[in-house]
Amino acid sequence: MNNHRVLCVLLALGTPVITAAYETDQFSNRQQPIADATAVMNRQVNLAIAASIANWQGKRDEMKVVDGIYHKIGGRHWVDKLERWAMESNDLERLDTPPHDSIYQGHPLWATRVAAFFGVGATIRINHVLVGTDKFGHFLSQGRKFYRRWLKAHDESKAAEHSAYTERAIFGQMTTGSYSNADLVANYEGYRFYRSLFEGDVVAGKPAILKWNDDHWAMQRPFDWADHVNDYWDEALNINAYDKLLYPHMKARFLTLCDDYWLAPEIYQLHNEESLRNRYQHLQLRDTSELRLSNLCTDRKNDTTDTARVQQREQ
């Protein structure tokens, strides 16, 4: 089936499927100073955890807790409740990224596919990292699915296979041309969050968030996004893999950002990559380091310098 026919089929399926094709943009206006929202977002999750165990009745039931949190701030619709809240709340700041003026605009429709119709989602700062709000939906909803698969197999690699499949299929590359490494990281960290509710040392050196006391749950430590969010959530650092239709257009667009890069190269620096690579080695992330501005723009600057030297010699 060619790409035009794929697009028509998706349109026929209706808006709910297509809205899963939102992208985010951590390149545009990256130098804009916005306040870190970690504390605000921590509060939302901790309120949901507390609500899920309040007035507990019945025996110990870990999945009941997970589902309670999910229904409070996750959701069955395509935009999770916490994700929507982060997109709209006045309690936090977002990058000024106009929905239809992003790194994805101006490319042929057959390259961007359904993503061209909906613009981009919002970006906020968590744990000093720029994060697309779509990642909270991945964390809560896809993380919950990952957790349920792990409960069956007790094998993270097997549980990760389905996450990678969905990123290749209708929730990712099939509909947008993009395979998001950061989505897979957020899925996995959501799974780790659900496990950390009941198990110690899932977050190294920390006890479980909850403790079972005879006939009820009690919180013994607060949730903290800083335990889960790192540079691999930032799609300007952990860049998407693009299929052959979209790749040349995205690479050309990234090259237009080199002037921005050289104004503040430090904000494009990825920290602790060896540790992150090891942590996520089983998630089927794709190596897209060639598209990082730190590589593209350095190569381009070297090419420009070499050309200038040649011209000087010729004169």
Domain boundaries, the chain: 3-314
Name which of 2-16, 24-38, 101-115, 185-199 the model is least confident about: 2-16
Averaged pLDDT for residues 164-177: 64
How much is the pTM? 0.87
**CB–CB of 123/26 below 8 Å?**
yes
pLDDT value at position 250?
95
pLDDT of 99 higher than 90: no
Q: How far is CA 280 from CA 99, 184, 186, 188, 237, in A?
A: 31, 9, 11, 8, 15
What is the per-residue pLDDT across 102-130, written as a single tens digit (0 to 9) for each?
Answer: 888 888 776 666 666 666 889 999 999 99
Considering only CA atoms, which of 294, 295, 276 is closest in space to residue 285?
276
pLDDT value at position 19?
38
Q: What is the rounded average pLDDT for all residues in the chain?
A: 86
The position carrying tokens 């697309």 is 132
pLDDT value at position 77?
64
**CB–CB of 143/194 below 8 Å?**
yes
Averaged pLDDT for residues 10-33: 66
Considering only CA atoms, which of 111, 95, 93 is closest in space to residue 28?
95
